[in-house]
């Protein structure tokens, strides 16, 4: 049953995330995402086949990266950082919007106290928070790499990009490996989960009679 809730929520979160990258790139002068058909909220335009299979098998997946041509940008380093930031930021905004929608609906719709609606809205909130937080990790190919690069000098940014592109996948794999003596939990889980729970608690505290 939980699969029926979190899968659509994650697909929505991925579509919003990738669309936001495309929209900001388009606004900053790069027509590449528009030409690639990525300037849409249609999830089919943003789903990556391998990422979808991983999603079904491991409950972890990814969307199709939005193509960006930095030569079309006026300030490539700064603009790429803004494009990268747009993805996680959009997920946080969606999480806030659905949190507000749920609790405001409680003033007008008695059905908002139904457990099924709480599960639907809370799942969308946690999925968007999770995707946004995960992509802020400064490890290639995640958005955090470009965001950090935009804050560095040109030389430091180039060295940062080279290092993260070379070792990023290896670091990501290490983050997912279970740590000895941790009960099977990974470093990512130990550091990521408390932050996610804290933010979720701020946006979606348990409703009386529901949880």
As annotated, the active-site residues are 18
Nearest residue to 22 via CA among 7, 2, 42: 42
DSSP 8-class letter at 73: S
Q: Is the peptide bond before 141 cis (omega within 30 degrees of 0)?
A: yes
**In 10 A of CB 194, how many CB atoms?**
10
Q: Which residues contact 97 (CB under 8 A, 6 or more apart)?
A: none
Helix (H) or strand (E) holding 138: none
Q: How remote is the C-alpha of 85 from its chain's centroid?
A: 10
Q: Which residues, at least 6 apart from 154, have a Cβ–Cβ distance to it below 8 Å? A: 77
CA torsion, points 174, 160, 132, 184, in degrees to nearest 10?
10
Measured between alpha carbons, how far is 116 from 5 in angstroms, rounded to an integer?
A: 10
- Tokens 């990556």 sit on residue: 48
Tokens representing 19 are 């669309």
């Amino acid at each position: 049953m939980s699969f029926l809730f979190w899968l659509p929520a994650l697909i929505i979160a991925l579509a919003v995330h990738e669309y936001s990258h495309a929209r900001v790139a388009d606004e900053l002068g790069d027509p590449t995402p528009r030409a690639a058909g990525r300037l849409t909220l249609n999830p089919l335009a943003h789903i990556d086949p391998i990422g979808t299979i991983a999603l079904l098998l491991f409950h972890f997946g990814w969307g199709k990266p939005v193509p960006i041509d930095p030569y079309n940008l006026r300030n490539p380093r700064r603009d790429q950082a803004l494009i990268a930031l747009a993805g996680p930021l959009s997920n946080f905004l969606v999480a806030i919007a659905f949190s507000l929608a749920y609790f405001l609906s409680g003033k007008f719709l008695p059905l908002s106290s139904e457990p099924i609606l709480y599960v639907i809205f809370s799942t969308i909130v946690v999925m968007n928070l999770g995707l946004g937080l995960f992509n802020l990790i400064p490890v290639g190919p995640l958005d955090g790499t470009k965001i950090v690069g935009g804050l560095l000098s040109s030389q430091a940014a180039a060295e940062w990009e080279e290092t993260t592109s070379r070792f990023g996948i290896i670091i990501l794999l290490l983050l997912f490996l279970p740590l000895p003596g941790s009960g099977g939990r990974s470093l990512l889980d130990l550091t990521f989960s408390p932050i996610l729970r804290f933010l979720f608690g701020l946006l979606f505290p348990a409703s009386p009679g529901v949880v």
